[in-house]
Structure formats: C-alpha cells, structure tokens
C-alpha cells in the first residue's frame, strides 16, 4: 500500500501500521500530526475574510500542513448573524470541494470553532471583537441563529466560545442549546464570576478558551475568571503557546493544574502565521509589524499585540524550551489531547497522519 506523504516522502503502510520509515536528513522524529482547534487564518489567508476564494482556502490548509498541522478548526469571530451564516456556508462549500487530511498535502478542516458573538461586551474581556455585534445569551434570536449557523456549516460547528456572565437559568438554557446542536461549549472572553462559570460547567461547558487572554489588564486578586476556571476540575483549557500571549509561569501553572488530556495547546493564529517578518497594512487594524521572533504588534506600539503569528508547531517548540513538561507530553497537548477533545479518539488515520519533525 502506498504510504502517507509528507514533503512527498513515502512511508510504507500495511493495515494502518507503519512498516518502513525512510531516513530524512535533518528530520529526527515521526509523530501524529498536530491538531489546532483555533485558527483564524494562516499563510496570508484570513478565514473571516468574506472575499476568501477556494484557492485561498486551500493555500491556508497547505501552509498549515507544511507546519505539521494535519487538522485545524477554521475559527470565526464575532460578526453579524447573517455574515456568520454566509461565511460558514462559504467555508463549508470549499471544504466539500477539497480533498483533505490523510495522504493529501492539506490539513483537514473537519469542524469549525465559532468564537462569539455571545461574549462579554466589556472592554478587555471582549478583546478585538466588535462591540456592536456582541449578543446576549438571552437574546430572543439566539437559538434561531445557532441553528441557522449550524445548518450552514452542515453540522460541523464543533466548539463555541461564549461568556456565561448572567443568571444560572439563562446559562443553563443557552448551554443546553449549544449541546443539542452538537456543539462543545467553551467559556471565554468572559468576566463571569466563579458561580456563573460553575453554572456553565454544570450545564455542560467543557473548555475554557485561551485562558489568561481576553481579560482585563487589571483583575481583582481573589475573584477573577482565571482562578475560577483553574478550580473547575471538569474544564479543559486551551492556551496560546507563542511566548507573547502568556508568560512562562502561567503556561506552566495552567499545565500543572490541568495536566495531560485537559491542557490543549492552540495557536489562535492570524493570517500572519507562516508569513515572512515585515510590516503589513490591514484594512481593519491599521499597520502591523511582524518581528523576526514572530511577535505581531501594532506599528509604533511594540507592547500592543495584534494577534498571534506562530504555527502550533512553533508554539510547541517554544513551550518545550520552557522545560516544565517533556517534548512528548507537550506534543500530546497539541495533537492527541485536542483530537480526543473533538472526537473521543487520541489518534485518527485521516486527521492525525504521521509527520516528520
Ligand atoms: Zn479570542
């Protein structure tokens, strides 16, 4: 049987077992592909861009695969309901036309992550999401929109990030709507109290999105969502491992608290991941600078991040250098753990084919 391909290198496979691995100069290891559950864009392509073409879509999945990401969740952020519906339908049409995963040269994009629009309207917690499109959990149109989006996505919205900063009854009802639509509820971009986060977990929330980011700069020392999330044993966490969004201490403490299987590394990459360092002009965010260290910041304000610009593979290398967990454990946090979160399996022949590293 013809084997898996990576960089056009054949690997011999029989009965879904690797029987022969050719030697590749400079490549020392073979591992299951990476699974990135939060990718806004990659390689110059923004999944949120309404003018995205089929060629763009494939270019992004190809660039992801070159970075050892074999499964990625295109992530859409807060926008108008109609716009989200159209964008999901567009991406889903491209997905249906594109052979992905397994032996192809493209990352698979079998699911979507909807980050918003049911998030905190508060400054800091809201991050860069547009305030005018933020919706409340008790919006009378909420259920209608969620069903419309899920229909447009062919049932492939797998994660929704939302803020449970309201009464327990509303949180329970909203979280139930997500679950009945086949969506894994994830708390994030939230100023919810510990009790409100607990209500979300009791109702079925299973993840906290990019813990430690999308927060106010100054937090009450005792009562803040970071402690609340860490104390919820049933919540997994995702964390951005690029070295700019979180300091080493937070990455280490989050990993120590949540451990193997409940810590998921994500890139939260923008279209600048996979691009050359330099200055870029954006139509929304103005001018941005991508440094050689892959820090993306607003031009003239080196301390103001403009998003993430490393691939999950680059994040893994950074977090590995911190030394608080083994390279194998951290690879699992970026491959087997997120895959199991999405599908219940730690390995999948199509979604996590082997890659060289
Ligand atoms: Zn976010």
- How sure is the predictor about 8, in pLDDT bands with cuts at 50, 70 and 90? low
Please tell me the distance between residue 290's alpha carbon and the centre of ligand 1 in angstroms: 19
- In the reported structure, the alpha carbon of residue 116 is separated from the centroid of ligand 1 by a whole-number distance in angstroms of 9
Distance 245 CA to ligand 1 centre (A): 11
Report if residue 11 sits inside a domain. Answer: no
Query: Which residues neighbour 299 within 8 Å (Cβ) at sequence distance 6 or greater?
Result: 279, 286, 287, 288, 289
How many Å is the Cα radius of gyration of the chain? 19
How many angstroms does the Cα of residue 214 sit away from the middle of ligand 1? Answer: 6
Is residue 49, in this structure, part of any structural domain at all? Answer: yes
30 alpha carbon – ligand 1 mean position (Å): 31
CA 320 to centroid of ligand 1, rounded, Å: 23
Going from the Cα of 192 to the center of ligand 1, the distance in angstroms, rounded, reads 15
Q: Which residues contact 222 (CB under 8 A, 6 or more apart)?
A: none
Residue 142 lies in a domain: yes
> What is the rounded distance in angstroms from the CA atom of residue 326 to the CA atom of residue 34?
16
pLDDT at 28 over 80: no
Which has the minimum average pLDDT: 17-31, 142-156, 158-172? 17-31
Classified as helix, coil or strand, 278 is strand
Supply φ then ψ for residue 320, to 5 degrees.
-60, -40
**Number of domains the chain is built from:** 1
Cβ neighbours for 210, distance < 8 A, ≥ 6 positions apart: 38, 188, 238, 239, 240, 245, 266, 268
Cα 40 to averaged position of ligand 1 atoms, centre (Å): 10
Residue 182 domain flag: yes
Cα–Cα distances (Å) from 189 to 77, 89, 325, in that order, read 11, 25, 27
Q: 119: which 2 tokens?
A: 């998030």
Three-class SS state of 23: coil
Cα 189 to averaged position of ligand 1 atoms, centre (Å): 6
CA diameter of the chain: 59
3 alpha carbon – ligand 1 mean position (Å): 38
Nearest to 207 by CA among 182, 230, 238, 180: 238
In the reported structure, the alpha carbon of residue 345 is separated from the centroid of ligand 1 by a whole-number distance in angstroms of 26
Strand 184-187 and strand 157-162: pairing? parallel
Per-residue pLDDT at 291 exceeds 50: yes
Q: pTM of the predicted model, to two decimals?
A: 0.94
Is the pLDDT at 22 greater than 80, yes or no? no
- The pLDDT of residue 282: 78
Distance CA(15)–CA(234), nearest Å, equals: 36
The residue among 86, 77, 192, 74 whose CA lies nearest residue 133 is: 77
Tokens in use for 188? 């994030």
Q: Are 137 and 185 in contact (CB under 8 A)?
A: no
The C-alpha atoms of residue 337 and residue 215 are separated, in whole angstroms, by: 25
In a domain, 9, yes or no: no
Expressed in angstroms and rounded, the spacing between residue 127 Cα and the centre of ligand 1 is: 7
CA of 2 to the centre of ligand 1 (A): 40
Inform me whether the pLDDT recorded for 29 exceeds 90.
no
Q: Is the pLDDT of residue 58 over 70?
A: yes
Q: What is the CATH number of the domain that holds 327?
A: 3.20.20.140
Are 351 and 329 contacting, i.e. CB atoms less than 8 angstroms apart? no
Q: How far is the CA of 309 from the centre of ligand 1 (A)?
A: 14
**Closest to 278 (Cα-Cα) out of 287, 268, 286:** 287
User: Could you tell me the distance, in angstroms and rounded to a whole number, from the CA of residue 210 to the centre of ligand 1?
Assistant: 7
Cα of first residue to Cα of last residue in the chain, in angstroms, is 23
Give 157-183 pLDDT, tens digit per residue. Answer: 999 999 999 999 999 999 999 999 999
**8 within a domain of the structure (yes/no):** no
Q: Could you tell me the two tokens for 144?
A: 């209608």
Q: Which residue has the higher pLDDT, 132 or 22?
A: 132
Q: What is the pLDDT of residue 284?
A: 65
Give the model's pLDDT for residue 19: 73
H or E element at residue 280:
strand 278-282
Ligand 1 centroid vs 264 CA: distance in angstroms? Answer: 15
Structure tokens at 171: 């949180």
pLDDT band at residue 285, thresholds of 50, 70 and 90? low
Q: How far is the CA of 99 from the centre of ligand 1 (A)?
A: 29
User: Is 7's pLDDT higher than 90?
Assistant: no
Whether 26 maps to a domain, the answer reads no
What pLDDT, in 10s, does the model give residues 237-258? 999 999 999 999 999 999 999 9
| pLDDT on residue 30 | 82
Q: Which residue segment(s) compose the domain that 146 sits in?
A: 34-274+310-347
> Do the domain assignments include residue 178?
yes
| Percentage with pLDDT > 70 across the chain | 93
């Amino acid at each position: 049987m013809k084997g898996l391909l990576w960089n056009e290198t054949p690997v011999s496979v029989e009965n879904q077992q690797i029987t022969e691995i050719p030697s590749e100069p400079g490549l020392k290891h073979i591992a299951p592909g990476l699974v990135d559950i939060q990718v806004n864009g990659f390689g110059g392509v923004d999944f949120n861009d309404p003018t995205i073409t089929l060629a763009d879509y494939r270019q992004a999945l190809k660039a992801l695969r070159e970075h050892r990401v074999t499964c990625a969740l295109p992530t859409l952020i807060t926008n108008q309901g109609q716009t989200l519906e159209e964008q999901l339908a567009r991406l889903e049409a491209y997905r249906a036309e594109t052979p992905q995963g397994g032996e192809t040269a493209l990352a698979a994009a079998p699911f979507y992550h909807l980050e918003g629009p049911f998030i905190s309207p508060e400054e800091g917690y809201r991050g860069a999401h547009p305030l005018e499109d933020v919706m409340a959990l008790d919006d009378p149109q909420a259920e209608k929109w969620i069903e419309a989006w899920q229909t447009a996505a062919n049932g492939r919205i797998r994660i929704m990030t939302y803020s449970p900063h309201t009464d327990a009854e509303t949180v329970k009802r909203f979280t139930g709507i997500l679950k009945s639509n086949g969506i894994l509820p994830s708390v994030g971009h939230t100023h919810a109290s510990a009790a409100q986060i607990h209500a979300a977990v009791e109702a079925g929330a299973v993840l906290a999105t990019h813990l430690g980011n999308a927060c106010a700069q100054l937090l009450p020392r005792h009562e803040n969502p970071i402690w609340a999330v860490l104390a919820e044993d049933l919540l997994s966490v995702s964390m951005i491992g690029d070295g700019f969004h979180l300091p080493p201490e937070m990455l280490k403490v989050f990993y120590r608290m949540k451990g193997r299987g409940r810590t998921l590394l994500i890139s939260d990459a923008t279209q600048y991941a996979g691009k050359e360092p330099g200055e870029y002009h954006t139509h929304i965010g103005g001018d941005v600078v991508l440094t050689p260290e892959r820090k993306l910041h607003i031009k003239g304000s080196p301390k103001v991040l403009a998003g993430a610009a490393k691939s999950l593979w680059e994040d893994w290398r950074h977090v590995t250098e911190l030394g608080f967990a083994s390279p194998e454990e951290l690879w699992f946090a970026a491959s087997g753990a997120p895959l199991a979160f999405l599908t219940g399996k730690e390995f999948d022949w199509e979604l996590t084919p082997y890659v060289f590293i």
